[in-house]
Amino acid sequence: MRKTIGVRLTAPLLAATLGPAALLLAPVASAAADPAVALAAAPGMAAAPYEYLGWGNPQKPTDVMKATGVKWFTLAFILSDGGCNPKWDGSRPLTGGADEAAIKSIRAAGGDVVVSVGGWSGNKLGEKCSSASALAGAYQKVIDAYKLKAFDIDIEDTEFGNATVRQRVVDALKIVKAKNPGLVTYITMGTTPTGPDATGKDLIKRGAAAGLANDGWVVMPFDFGGHSGTMGQASVGALEGLKAAVKSAYGYSDDAAYRHIGVSSMNGKTDEAGETVTTADFRTLLGYAQQHHLARFSFWSVNRDRACGSGTDADACSGVAQSPYEFTKIVVQYQG
């Protein structure tokens, strides 16, 4: 999970790179040429904002659904319990608790969930599981617990920064994709204003070289450490860099590359002083997503999609003047 109010920092730049395996690129491009095909069977999946049920005074998901029309949520985060075993926050059981009850309530109201593994803090499964097959088994436990249609790997901090772990995550996800036909997968990571850093590009290249038909390579365009223009413009710049990296690694056309990338923004004040993502920035991203048919338009987080009161925890509000769920109401307009 993110530190303080949702930090998703990029790891130090690492120089390791892999050349794409040309023999594998063609089957990848054809196997997942258009994730919108999968999304068409699940309206609203492309717009699934994060909600964190562990802290941040979470709202009842069904109340959010009634207020905004949103159907899908990305629920975070699955972590290691200290070994190669998945639990919510590394401590709450997959079944029999409040998290499963929340998922059931969302589905009963006509919605569904993406489950996110990783985040900034805590023990990461990618590090605690010693092999790709073991990691795939941990992922599969989560998929089986909820019969998931979509799965998000939010790869950050030490899990992102270790080349061996990056490869393990890629290989594990490929195993999972083979075992679960039709499962939509996202890999979410930090970014610079010009696109993924050397570590992010390496991760994408490893995915292509492994033949991983990932549906959405997603960046988190905030906590930049400096940018020019509006945050909406900086986010578009980051996405253009991501598109170029995915196109290069996989050999996609421009259209196919756009359909295999996505954005997960942050609403309101971020972790950096002077960096604020406004509703106008979200509308910029909405237009961009609609123009290019991105795989995903999400944000961190529903918990923060309300104005702050006196003394309110910043994990539970945006820090800007807004009406309730103003950011969610923009995102829900995106349908893929």
What is the Cα–Cα distance from 302 to 159, expressed in whole angstroms?
Answer: 25
Using CB atoms within 10 Å of the CB of residue 290, give its burial: 0 to 12 exposed, 13 to 18 middle, 19+ buried. middle
What is the Cα–Cα distance from 224 to 190, expressed in whole angstroms?
Answer: 9
Which one from 51, 100, 127, 156 is the annotated catalytic residue? 156
Residues 6+ apart with CB under 8 A from 92: 54, 98, 99
Query: Interior CA angle at 299 toward 246 and 243, to 5°?
Result: 15
Eight-state DSSP code of residue 287: H
Total count of residues recorded for the chain: 336
The residue written with tokens 């590090």 in the block is 127
Alpha helices in the chain (DSSP H): 22-31, 35-40, 61-68, 98-108, 125-128, 132-146, 157-161, 163-179, 198-210, 231-250, 254-258, 279-292, 326-331
State yes or no: is 100 an active-site residue: no
Burial 43-76 (b: 16+ CB within 10 A, else e): ebbbbbbbbbbbebebbebeebbeebebbbbbbb
Q: Is the peptide bond before 130 cis (omega within 30 degrees of 0)?
A: no
- The catalytic site residues sit at 156
